[in-house]
Chain A
Amino acid sequence: MSFVTVENLFQSYGRRPIIERVNVTVAEGEFISIVGASGCGKSTFLRLLLAQETPTRGEIRINGAAPAREPGLDRGIVFQRYSVFPHLTVRENILAGESFRRGWGRFWGAERRDALARADETLARIGLDHVADQYPATLSGGMQQRLAIGQALVARPKVLLLDEPFGALDPGTRVQMHDFLTELRTQTQMTVFMVTHDLGEAFKLGDRVLVFDKVRWDPQDPNLHGATITYDFDACTGGIPFQTLKEDIHVYHTA
C-alpha cells in the first residue's frame, strides 16, 4: 500500500536541527502538497526526498527499495528556477530526459530519429511544439516551467518532486499551469510531492496537504528545535473533515 515511506527522519546542519521526527507514508499516485512558513524545513524535506542530502537519522524508501544515496532516475525534480538546460534548445531539453542516462548522453542514428519523434510528440502534448528550436531563455516563465515538467516526466520517474514550481509566475499563468499539471497527472498517475507557499494552490492540487511547523519554540533560541509535520490534511474535504456528513439516512439532503 505505502509507496513512499518516511521513517523517523531527522536532519540537522551542524548543531542546528532543521526537521525532526518526520514520519509519513504515501500511497502510489497520491499528490502531496507541502506547506509551512519560511525556514521550516519544507525544502530540506524535499532535498531529502530527492536524496540530494543524506538525513542525519531515519530513512526514506521508495517502493521498498534501499534508501538512495544520490539523486537518480527514480526521482524527478522541477525547481522554481534553473530547471532546464539553457544551452539546449527546447527539443534537445526534452531529448535530454531520455538520452542523459546513456554513456555519452546522446542518441545516434535511427535511435536518435525515434527519440526525436517522441520528443516532438511530448512537445505537442505540453503545447511547446511551436518553439521547439528556440532556446529556453526566449521562453516565458510559464513555458519554461512547462518544459521543465515535461523534461522531468520524459525520464519516467517513480516520484515527481516540485519545489515551488509556480512561485515565480504571475497569477494567470499559475492557474494555467495548475490545469496543465492536473491534466498530466490524470494521464500519468504519478506520485507527486509539491512544496508551495500558496495555500490555495496546495489544497487545489493536492490529495493531502502536509504542514511543516515547529512544535517546540524556545524564545531565547528560536533555532534550538526543528520542525516536523504538524498537520496532515485530507485535501478532498478542503482540510475541514468535520463538515463531511457521515450520516446519510436521517439527514436532510439538499441536492
Chain B
Amino acid sequence: MRIINIRLGRPAVVTLALLPFIAALIVYAVASDIRLTANPADRLLPAPGTVLTTAGQLLSEPDRRSGDILFWQDTWASLQRLLLGVGISATIGLIFGLLIGLIPVARALLAQFVAVVSMIPPLALLPILFIVFGLGELSKVVLIVIGTLPFLIRDLSQRVLEVPQELVVKAQTLGASTWVIAIRVVLPQMMPRLIQAVRLSLGPAWLFLIAAEAIAADAGLGYRIFLVRRYLAMDVILTYVIWITLLAFVMDWGLRTLSRKAFPWAEAGL
C-alpha cells in the first residue's frame, strides 16, 4: 500500500500529534540533566521542575515593591496593545480592502501605493515611531498597525476581487447601489476571510509587540523577558515564552471556531 493512502484512526492521530511535544520535552529534560550534573549552579537549562516552581511563584506571588502580581500585569498590558493594534488594523484593512477591491477608481488610486508601502520593513520605522509618538502605548500600537495593515489590505482587496463577478452583476439587476453591494453582498462574504487574514497576521503582530516592548516599556510580556535576560533567569523567560505561545494558540483557535460558528455558509460553500 502506498504511504499516501495510509489512513489513521482517531487514537493513532492523537498519539502521533502528541509525540513531537513529548519528544521535545524529553530532549530538554535530558539536556538540562546533563548540564546540571556537570554544574549544579548552571542557569542555562533549568530543570523542568525548577521552571514549574518559578511559574507557580510568578503566577501567585505579588511583587514586593508594588504589591501587584507582575505576571498578570504584563499579560494585561501586552494583550491590550496587541488587541488594540490588531483591531484597528483589521478595521482599516477591511475598509480599504473593500474600497480597492470593489471600486476601480480607488484601486487605480491606492493599489500601487499600498504595494510599495507594504515593502517598508516596519521595524525600521520603530525609531521614527518612538520619536514621533513617544515611548508610551501609542508607538507600540502604531507599530503593530503598520506591521500588519499592508498585508491585510492587500489580502482583503484580493479576496474582494475574487468575489464572482456574477454576484455583483446579479445584485445590480436587483437594483442595488454601490453602497448596498458593498454592505450586503461583498462585506458579509469578506468576514470569514477577514478572520482568516487576522489569524495569519497574529504572528507578525506578536513579533512587533515584543520588539517594541523589548526596546521601551515599563510592563509587558516582551519587556519582562528582555529585563530578566540580564540575570540569565531562564526559568522566568521559559515561563513567559510558554505563556505567549499558549495565548497566541488560544487566539488562533478562538478565531477559527468563531469563523466556523458565525459563518456556516462559508464552510459548506467555499
Contact = CB atoms under 8 A, between A and B. Distances in A.
A141 interface: no
A124 to B, nearest CB: 21
Contact of B269 (A71, A103, A136, A155): A136
A157 B180 CA distance: 19
A105 to B, nearest CB: 4
B174 A135 contact: no
B184 A72 contact: no
Among the interface residues A52, A75, A103, A152, which one has the most CB atoms of the partner chain B within 10 A? A52
Contact of B189 (A76, A86, A96, A152): A86
Contacts of A73: 173-175
Interface stretch (A77-85, A111-119, A236-244): A77-85
Interface in A50-72: 50, 52, 70-72
B265 A87 contact: yes
A100 B265 contact: no
Contacts of A82: 164, 166-167, 170
Contacts of B172: 70-72
A137 B175 contact: no
B251 interface: no
Interface residues of A, number: 34
B185 interface: yes
A52 B170 CA distance: 10
A77 B169 contact: yes
B265 A77 contact: no
A100 B189 contact: no
A97 interface: yes
A156 to B, nearest CB: 10
Contacts of A75: 173
Contact of A135 (B171, B177, B179, B265): B265
B263 A87 contact: yes
Contacts of A86: 189, 265-266, 269-270
Contacts of B188: 87
Nearest to A79: B166
A151 interface: yes
B174 A97 contact: yes
Interface in A102-133: 102-106
B183 interface: yes
B264 interface: yes
Contact of B167 (A70, A85, A135, A157): A85
Nearest to A73: B175
Among the interface residues B174, B188, B264, which one has the most CB atoms of the partner chain A within 10 A? B174
A138 interface: yes
B171 A100 contact: yes
A16 interface: no
Contact of A100 (B164, B175, B269, B270): B175
Contacts of A135: 264-265, 268-269
A210 B270 CA distance: 36
B176 interface: yes
Interface in B252-270: 263-266, 268-270
B232 to A, nearest CB: 54
B269 A137 contact: yes
Contacts of A138: 268
B189 A50 contact: no
Contacts of A50: 169, 173
A96 B173 contact: no
18 contacts: A72-B175, A79-B166, A82-B164, A83-B166, A83-B170, A85-B170, A86-B265, A86-B266, A87-B188, A97-B174, A100-B174, A101-B176, A105-B184, A106-B184, A137-B268, A137-B269, A138-B268, A151-B174
Interface of B: 164, 166-167, 169-177, 179-180, 183-185, 188-189, 263-266, 268-270
Interface of A: 50, 52, 70-73, 75-77, 79, 81-87, 96-97, 100-106, 135-138, 151-152, 155, 157
User: A-B pairs with the 5 shortest C-beta distances?
Assistant: A101-B175, A137-B269, A105-B180, A105-B184, A82-B166
Given A82-B170, A100-B180, A135-B265, 7 more contacts: A73-B173, A75-B173, A77-B170, A81-B166, A87-B265, A97-B174, A152-B173
